Structure 1
Amino acid sequence: MSEPSGATLIATGMLPFVVLVSAAVTAPVSMALLALYRRAVLRSMAEGGEARPDARPEAPATVLPPPAVQLQLDIVAGLVPKAPSPAQAQAARSLRRAVAVQLASGIAYAAVLAAAWMVFTLDSGVPLMRFLWLLVCHAWPTVLGITLIAAAARRQRLQIAGVYFALLLALAIVALARNPELTAAQAAAFWLLTNAPPTLLLLAFLRRRVRAVGPLVLAFMVAAVTGSQVTVSLVGQSEAAMRTAVATGSLLGLGGTGTFFALMLGGMLLAAFAGWQWLQWLGRRHLARRTSDQALTLDAMWLLFGVVHSIGLAFEGLLWTFTGLVAFAACKLVTHIGQRVATPGPDPAQAQDEAPSLLLLRVFALGARSERLFDALNTRWLRAGDISLIAGPDLATTTVEPREFLDFVGGRLSRQFVRDEPDLQRRLKERALGPDPDGRYRVNEFFCHADTWQPAMRRLAAGADAVLMDLRSFSPANQGCQYELQQLLDAVPLARVVCLIDATTDRAFLEATLRRLWQSVAADSPNRTLSSARLRLLAVDASREFEVGPLLALLHTAAARTG
């Protein structure tokens, strides 16, 4: 038996090392960077901007009479959706198309790898059954991709995985029946060896708290770790290069071990510079609307699986190491074609005009509950229209976009904050309102100082088609929310507003606050002349997983009433 070649050793040694180490350190590095990012955002939020004192004319000294009608609070615990609005129907179609494109892309990816394995296994088993088994095993990333795209709750994620494993089990039963030499343990071991390592690594940087920047950090880590290994490998291939490295190390007072680590560090720094340029390129593509945050995450996932799935093929020759990259290219090609064919949609200008815009206001102290609500809206509402919100401590690390994160790393986070009224006007005009290539709309996050958030809130509320006010955990301590409620009553038609409450909401205080604010509603309020003033409040069960369906139905109904 011949000794393995250097290329094979690289493919089965260095390549797995680079991928596994890069993926393993991505999660802790992402968490550390996001913690620093959150602290920097909170510090800037507490500072003052350059805004002048509120220039709005003061209210007249005369006391206005209260509105002719009393404010009625319609508290609903659920809603059976009626016929969907055009935007809601479009969102459902967009989601189905995205799932179909991801399924087709995953099949293309798996087919390439299954075909490669078939080249070496044609002498055993039933060819068709073996191909189907290999296809389904390598299609596991498709399940993760569809889950990322379409699952808004744990139940949906389990259903998607259940369908896949039912198909896998059916194929395994048939294969075991037709191939006596195959055992159930062998089939299970093959699937686990193929998919378990990359899945565990993937889940590490797709956790909710690091998902926003995980793909960017992974790309940078791959570049840095690769640089450290390639430098040592290149120097080790030449005796002259090794002598030069040892001599240089001796001049610096380094021994053999020190020189070795110095080579790794030097290669890592050079590659880190290249990796930073790569991240800047990704950020420019994202800013230019050529890709989306979800597309970046999916690309990172498919690349990770592609590299790991290629490791077992490296023993057949160096060229087979690139099978995973070929599979990734096939996946991207099918995705591109699928998005062009399956999601033609209207032209961007028409889509921007017709898409409903949602303003999300909330109690900042909600923490993980805000993240779960945002995840649900991120999955479903962004298929219909954009979301605007004011940055807060609860979602500071969940909604961060590539350009915002790169500005922070580059020491330019301050330019993301609204400074004054002209700056606010500019940012409102520059909002990302049309769909990305994958059909999803974007989240427009406004970073505000202590003296700029109120003007930003008023402008955003005036232009929103629907407003969601998350009042879970609302209490007398939430002075900012009381200001926002007053502005909604003063300037936004009640038909556009939906409030979210649960058992943690101080309902007595909320009702008293709303009725008090209603008595002093502005003279030019669109709600003052209503014949029936009703504010809808959706009550959800705090002890159960959040169901986004009833909320979406209310929001789409609210947005449809603005037309």
Structure 2
Amino acid sequence: MLPGKIAFLLIVATALSFFGALIVAARYRAAMQALMKAPLDAPSTTTSGTAKPLPYSADTPAIPVSLADNRQAQTRLILGFLGLTLLMALTRTLLMQIVSDGPITIKTVSTLCAAYAWPVVPVIAVLRRWPRWRFVGVLLLWFVAAVMLLSWRTNENVSFAQVLFWLSLDIGLPLIVVSALCLGSATRAVAPWLAPLFILFCWASQAGVDLLAALVDAQSPLAYWLAGHIGAITAIALFALTPWLFAWWPARALGRWLADAYAARRISELFYLFTAVWVIALVGPALGAIASEGWGALLYFLPLAWVPLAGWLLRQGAAQRPAGRPPTLLVLRVFQQDANVQNLFDGVIERWRLSGNTVLIAGTDLIDRTIDAEDIFTFLDGRLAERFIRRPEEVGHRLGAFEWQPDVEGRYRVNECYCHDTTWQQALAELLRVSDVVLMDLRNFVAANRGCLYELQTLAALPALQRVVVLVNERTEVEAARAATAAAPAGRFVWLRQANATPPAAEEVLAALLD
């Protein structure tokens, strides 16, 4: 019964992670809205301590990066994960064939390896920010292709129905679990980080139910007393949920460890997701081998050993990058235009992260895109208020906490300033001090947006800013925006107009930023 128990616990943990991610994202958004409007006399909550020094001098010129460099970085990253996936899929295939005494031929190994390489899809989906329909569609097509690819194995002893059933358990069920965790922006950003915690909680519930079963088998008077006074269903619920009170402390410690590891760049978002997907993919065959292999079923997780090795190789490759300061992009936008800025983030900012740092003033419009492990567990610890800048003198400390170094795969992180309504102007001034180029989304801008006018005037007056790329559409009051930038040096502002409802192509915007 052990494989069935483990499978059931993982399914329940996945469901809890999915709904938990939706709840956490919604509550995080509500908490941010409340903190941004907190009374001015609220005490300062910024934590004391020494800010991290910049890894380079602030006045060091940025490394020149072209659009071709950005394309090459994306291609290298995708090919790197694809190569790692194929290596892990090959290891899994050889392990299964050796353990089952199956044939090790080029045809067998190549077809199984191709079928088992599907975990690269979620990574590409995150890098390219695929919409839901494309992500699910590619996974379904991969499953169908795997079935067709392996249909050659049918013979008088193995029917097509048997191959389909085997692949449904071996590939289909993990695909469903991964789709549930990665289907939406909120679940994709939050659910994988919550999954280990809910696995721990589900294990605690199973231990409680097993204890009750042991009491019943031993004909314990306590079990009969509980059944007589509170009923059998209530007794089962009591033994299933009470252990959560004890599991809360190790779960909280685990969450803090994940947050600290992410903050220290020992874990990156992309490698964490990649590893989580592979763990899900390998659980099925490991559970199937428990009955015959016992603890030997853990050998099915051997492909995961390639992940830290790949991380080490990437770190060695990072030493070959050109020395110097990567360019920094400041993102400004008209607030409460969620769909526009989210599409902009998906198409442009995710690509820019391959070339340099991104800074912005936090808002509720980009929570699903920018929330990370540190944000999640800081919020769950009740310490989100510590992120907010309540006094102008706190701005420097907050910028000193930014992470300017890339993750192991080479992507730079998005750094945010959490501002009160009275401190965003000071935060803007500090962000501009460390920025090389600015991307400003003025679609649907009107002259009544006084904050945007202030930003335009500030951008026009800065002496050292390289370029400001401004997105406008037919609803933008362009005359008011251009009037605010009249004092700017010639060529500083690049205006990109959106035609109809179709946003500018990501490469068009990146070309203007990286020119």
Shorter-chain-normalised TM-score: which range?
0.7 to 0.9
Name the structure 2 match of 1:285: 261
Supply the distance in 2 between the matched residues of 1:533 and 1:141 (Cα, whole angstroms). Answer: 45
Name the structure 2 match of 1:59: none
Supply the distance in 2 between the matched residues of 1:185 and 1:541 (Cα, whole angstroms). Answer: 51
Q: Do the aligned partners of residues 296 and 555 (structure 1) sit closer, same or farther apart at CA in structure 2, a change above 3 Å counting?
A: same
Partner of 2:365, secondary structure, is coil
Q: Give the unaligned 5+ runs of structure 2.
A: 44-62
Name the structure 2 match of 1:498: 469
CA contact (8 A) 1:404 1:416 kept: no
Supply the distance in 1 between the matched residues of 2:138 and 2:192 (Cα, whole angstroms). Answer: 23
Are 1:273 and 2:244 matched, yes or no? no
Partner of 2:446, secondary structure, is coil
CA contact (8 A) 1:215 1:300 kept: yes
Supply the distance in 2 between the matched residues of 1:518 and 1:544 (Cα, whole angstroms). Answer: 26
Name the structure 1 match of 2:385: 414
The one-character-per-residue Cα deviations of 1:222-258 (angstroms, maximum 9, x if unpaired) are 111111113323554577877275278479x434433
Partner of 1:289, secondary structure, is coil
Q: 1:340 aligns with which of 298, 315, 335?
A: 315
Supply the distance in 2 between the matched residues of 1:94 and 1:554 (Cα, whole angstroms). Answer: 18
CA contact (8 A) 1:101 1:339 kept: no
Q: Do the aligned partners of residues 273 and 378 (structure 1) sit closer, same or farther apart at CA in structure 2, a change above 3 Å counting?
A: farther
TM-score normalised by L of structure 2: 0.85
Describe how 1:25-424 pairs up with structure 2 within 5 A.
25-49=16-40, 85-86=64-65, 88=67, 90-119=69-98, 121-122=100-101, 127-150=105-128, 168=146, 171-172=149-150, 175=152, 186-206=162-182, 207-234=184-211, 236-237=213-214, 243=220, 246=223, 249=226, 253-327=229-303, 329-346=304-321, 350=323, 353-424=324-395
The one-character-per-residue Cα deviations of 1:360-414 (angstroms, maximum 9, x if unpaired) are 0011222133222212334311111111011112113331222222222111111
**What amino acid sits opposite 2:202 in the alignment?**
V
CA contact (8 A) 1:112 1:323 kept: no
**What amino acid sits opposite 1:513 in the alignment?**
A
Supply the distance in 2 between the matched residues of 1:219 and 1:145 (Cα, whole angstroms). Answer: 19
Partner of 1:284, secondary structure, is helix
1:165 is displaced (CA, Å) by: 7.7
Partner of 1:438, secondary structure, is coil
**What amino acid sits opposite 2:85 in the alignment?**
G
Q: 2:481 aligns with which of 514, 537, 540?
A: 514
| Cα RMSD after superposing both structures | 3.4
Supply the distance in 1 between the matched residues of 2:104 and 2:93 (Cα, whole angstroms). Answer: 14
1:283 is displaced (CA, Å) by: 0.4
Partner of 1:397, secondary structure, is helix
1:140 is displaced (CA, Å) by: 1.1
Supply the distance in 2 between the matched residues of 1:140 and 1:50 (Cα, whole angstroms). Answer: 54
Name the structure 2 match of 1:550: 508
Are 1:441 and 2:397 matched, yes or no? no
CA contact (8 A) 2:143 2:172 kept: no
The one-character-per-residue Cα deviations of 1:428-473 (angstroms, maximum 9, x if unpaired) are 2221111122211111111100101111112212321110001122
**What amino acid sits opposite 1:10 in the alignment?**
L
TM-score normalised by L of structure 1: 0.78
Supply the distance in 2 between the matched residues of 1:41 and 1:545 (Cα, whole angstroms). Answer: 28
Moved more, 229-238 or 285-294: 229-238
Q: Do the aligned partners of residues 366 and 168 (structure 1) sit closer, same or farther apart at CA in structure 2, a change above 3 Å counting?
A: same
Moved more, 305-314 or 376-385: 305-314
Partner of 1:86, secondary structure, is coil
Supply the distance in 2 between the matched residues of 1:167 and 1:40 (Cα, whole angstroms). Answer: 45
1:494 is displaced (CA, Å) by: 6.8
Partner of 1:467, secondary structure, is strand
Supply the distance in 1 between the matched residues of 2:79 and 2:316 (Cα, whole angstroms). Answer: 11
Supply the distance in 2 between the matched residues of 1:257 and 1:167 (Cα, whole angstroms). Answer: 45
Name the structure 2 match of 1:74: none
CA contact (8 A) 1:462 1:491 kept: no
Query: Taking every aligned residue pair, what percent have the same amino acid on both sides?
Result: 26
Supply the distance in 1 between the matched residues of 2:191 and 2:136 (Cα, whole angstroms). Answer: 23
Moved more, 146-155 or 13-22: 146-155
Q: Do the aligned partners of residues 516 and 148 (structure 1) sit closer, same or farther apart at CA in structure 2, a change above 3 Å counting?
A: closer
Supply the distance in 2 between the matched residues of 1:90 and 1:153 (Cα, whole angstroms). Answer: 25
CA contact (8 A) 1:418 1:449 kept: yes
**What amino acid sits opposite 2:78 in the alignment?**
V
CA contact (8 A) 2:440 2:470 kept: yes
Are 1:461 and 2:440 matched, yes or no? no
Supply the distance in 1 between the matched residues of 2:328 and 2:248 (Cα, whole angstroms). Answer: 39
Supply the distance in 1 between the matched residues of 2:219 and 2:374 (Cα, whole angstroms). Answer: 41
1:264 is displaced (CA, Å) by: 1.2
1:46 is displaced (CA, Å) by: 1.9
Q: Give the unaligned 5+ runs of structure 1.
A: 1-8, 53-83, 522-526, 558-563
Partner of 1:474, secondary structure, is coil
CA contact (8 A) 2:314 2:408 kept: yes
Partner of 1:388, secondary structure, is strand
Q: Do the aligned partners of residues 362 and 306 (structure 1) sit closer, same or farther apart at CA in structure 2, a change above 3 Å counting?
A: same
CA contact (8 A) 1:359 1:468 kept: yes
1:105 is displaced (CA, Å) by: 2.7
The one-character-per-residue Cα deviations of 1:166-200 (angstroms, maximum 9, x if unpaired) are 98588447x36x96766655544443332222222
CA contact (8 A) 2:447 2:480 kept: no
Q: Do the aligned partners of residues 539 and 232 (structure 1) sit closer, same or farther apart at CA in structure 2, a change above 3 Å counting?
A: same
CA contact (8 A) 1:224 1:269 kept: no
Q: Do the aligned partners of residues 534 and 444 (structure 1) sit closer, same or farther apart at CA in structure 2, a change above 3 Å counting?
A: closer
Moved more, 89-98 or 261-270: 89-98
Name the structure 1 match of 2:2: 10
1:51 is displaced (CA, Å) by: 11
CA contact (8 A) 1:229 1:267 kept: no
Supply the distance in 2 between the matched residues of 1:132 and 1:285 (Cα, whole angstroms). Answer: 37
Supply the distance in 1 between the matched residues of 2:156 and 2:78 (Cα, whole angstroms). Answer: 37
Q: Do the aligned partners of residues 318 and 546 (structure 1) sit closer, same or farther apart at CA in structure 2, a change above 3 Å counting?
A: farther
1:495 is displaced (CA, Å) by: 4.3
1:492 is displaced (CA, Å) by: 5.8
Q: Which has the larger radius of gyration?
A: 1
